Chains A and B, each alone.
Chain A
Amino acid sequence: MSYDKPLPRINADNQAFWEGCRMHELRFQQCKGCGHVRWPPSDRCPRCHCTETRRLISKGIGRVYTFAVYHVAYHPGFAGDLPYTVAVVALDEGPHLLTNIVGCRPEQVVCDMPVEVAWEDVVDRITLPKFRPLSSAEGLG
């Protein structure tokens, strides 16, 4: 069955991130000027306007900052998933990533719950970083 959900729109700013996802790597820009790890990706650091970055690969571990449980499908591709959980995951390295929580029921999700990345290869060339409950408490920063 073909994948019928929206796909990311790759552009000059986010290309490195989505290429990383294909390799199952969460790649972020870390500012060479001030060390700030930024998300979403952009041309310059919002803190110091430095344009130089180094690649930071996240360990893919963080906590659920907040979440919402969809009971309505605003796009037909999600109708079969209801109810599903959208969450903001605060990664240990700093960025807040909008994602889905998978591998548990919506009612099991709570704020500050530890989670780890769960890669989902959806189509050729596109892999989505979703998150699931952390299998053990080890590895939390």
Chain B
Amino acid sequence: MQHAVGVLESGLCRYVLISYGHNALSGDSMRRMLMELSGDDAVFGHFGATGGYALAARRAMHEFGTGPETWKKIAVGQRKWANLNPAAMMFGKPMTEADYDKARWVVEPLRLPDNCLITDGGRAIIVTSLERARDLKQPPAVIMGMGQDHPSTAVAQSDWMAGPTGARKAGETALAMAGIRLDEVDACEIYDCFTYTVEITLQDYGFFKPGEGRDWLQGGTIEPGGSMPVNTSGGQLSEAYFMGLTPIAEGAMQIMGRCGKRQLGPETRTKSPEIIMISDNGGILESHSCILLRRW
């Protein structure tokens, strides 16, 4: 997104298309991907993102006392949103905390519902100037702030996997650019490759202090009817995985008011969204990007 804005601002382009597509579920690329991305870690049987985030999540358990009791609130909360979204892969498949507790380990301490989905499909967005947006069909989801931070260290060598991650600086940068405080944010669309990613991102953004996520999540904070809705399509855990375009597209659609039964506002007993905070991650917490979208 910052890239798109850069080329628009430089005058190189007027309308930028950003696209993603992958036949990840039905195709044969996933296993090869695991091997290609694992490098020599594969020598020790360490593969892919689940293992990497499991290392980070375990260190976080040790440093600030998080764990499955926190993560299941995220998994269950997002599943409730997915059940308001007919396009979500987990639509019609409700999940209770007891279901979470019974789910099998993938790479401990992460269970199956801590992992994002593997999806066939694609997603794309168009970015242009607000000036040009006035003549177009949809109400614009205006980019209010952006920030990135790239710690750029493999998880095995990182000593900040329990935070602060790149989300801290990226979030502060985006809020400063927008000229707003965190408490002016109405909802979040957080890159949720794993439940722990959601916790550490919200924590580093400043929604709660280290280890206080479990209390903050009590009482359905992020769910329909909650005070800070998170991942309102079901997210990558329960809707579909399209890299950063899962959260960005949902944030834009919520701002545009086009989300049907899951629309923030009276429909879901939540605040009508004026400002939504959106995140994207690269690698295993190596790279972070934050965007603030607003209604116009």
Q: What residues on A are CB-neighbors of B61 within 8 Å? A: 111
- Give the contacts of B29-63 with A (CB-CB under 8 A): 31, 34-35, 39-48, 50-51, 54-56, 58-59, 61-62
When the two chains form their complex, are residues B45 and A75 in contact, meaning their CB atoms are under 8 A apart?
A: yes
* Bound Cα distance from A38 to B295, whole angstroms: 48
Is residue A100 contacting chain B, with contact meaning CB distance below 8 A? yes
Q: Write out, one digit per residue, whether chain B residues 145-171 have a CB within 8 A of any chain A CB (1) or not (0).
A: 000000000001111010000000000
Q: How far is the CB of A104 from chain B (nearest CB, A)?
A: 15
When the two chains form their complex, are residues A98 and B156 in contact, meaning their CB atoms are under 8 A apart?
A: yes
Chain B contact residues, majority secondary structure: helix
When the two chains form their complex, are residues A111 and B41 in contact, meaning their CB atoms are under 8 A apart?
A: no
Q: Which range holds the interface residue count of chain B?
A: 20 to 34
Is residue B106 contacting chain A, with contact meaning CB distance below 8 A? yes
* Bound Cα distance from A110 to B61, whole angstroms: 11
Known A66-B62, A71-B104; judge A96-B159 contact (CB<8 A): yes
- Give the contacts of A1-45 with B (CB-CB under 8 A): 5-9, 14, 39-40
Is residue A58 contacting chain B, with contact meaning CB distance below 8 A? no
Q: Which range holds the interface residue count of chain A?
A: 35 or more
Q: How far is the CB of A113 from chain B (nearest CB, A)?
A: 11
When the two chains form their complex, are residues B43 and A7 in contact, meaning their CB atoms are under 8 A apart?
A: yes
Known A39-B157, A98-B44; judge A72-B56 contact (CB<8 A): no
Known A39-B157, A96-B157, A98-B156; judge A69-B107 contact (CB<8 A): yes
When the two chains form their complex, are residues B40 and A8 in contact, meaning their CB atoms are under 8 A apart?
A: yes
Q: How far is the CB of B151 from chain A (nearest CB, A)?
A: 13
* Bound Cα distance from A67 to B51, whole angstroms: 9
* Bound Cα distance from A40 to B58, whole angstroms: 22
Q: What residues on A are CB-neighbors of B101 within 8 Å? A: none
* Bound Cα distance from A100 to B42, whole angstroms: 11
Question: Which chain B residue lies CB-closest to A70?
Answer: B107
Q: What residues on B are CB-neighbors of A96 within 8 Å? A: 156-159
Question: Which chain B residue lies CB-closest to A87?
Answer: B55
Is residue B9 contacting chain A, with contact meaning CB distance below 8 A? no
When the two chains form their complex, are residues A6 and B58 in contact, meaning their CB atoms are under 8 A apart?
A: no
Q: How far is the CB of A14 from chain B (nearest CB, A)?
A: 8
When the two chains form their complex, are residues B45 and A100 in contact, meaning their CB atoms are under 8 A apart?
A: yes
Known A9-B40, A71-B107, A74-B34; judge A111-B45 contact (CB<8 A): no
* Bound Cα distance from A110 to B108, whole angstroms: 13
When the two chains form their complex, are residues B42 and A75 in contact, meaning their CB atoms are under 8 A apart?
A: yes
Is residue A128 contacting chain B, with contact meaning CB distance below 8 A? yes
Q: What residues on B are CB-neighbors of A67 within 8 Å? A: 55, 58
Is residue A119 contacting chain B, with contact meaning CB distance below 8 A? no
Q: What residues on B are CB-neighbors of A99 within 8 Å? A: 44
When the two chains form their complex, are residues B157 and A86 in contact, meaning their CB atoms are under 8 A apart?
A: no
When the two chains form their complex, are residues B45 and A68 in contact, meaning their CB atoms are under 8 A apart?
A: no
Q: What residues on B are CB-neighbors of A121 within 8 Å? A: none
Interface set of B (CB-CB < 8 Å, partner A): 31, 34-35, 39-48, 50-51, 54-56, 58-59, 61-62, 104-109, 156-159, 161
Query: Which 6 A-B residue pairings sit nearest by Cβ, starting from the closest?
Result: A68-B54, A69-B108, A111-B62, A66-B59, A74-B47, A71-B105
Known: A39-B157, A78-B45, A86-B46. 9 other contacts (CB 8 A): A6-B42, A68-B55, A68-B109, A69-B109, A70-B107, A72-B106, A83-B108, A86-B44, A110-B62
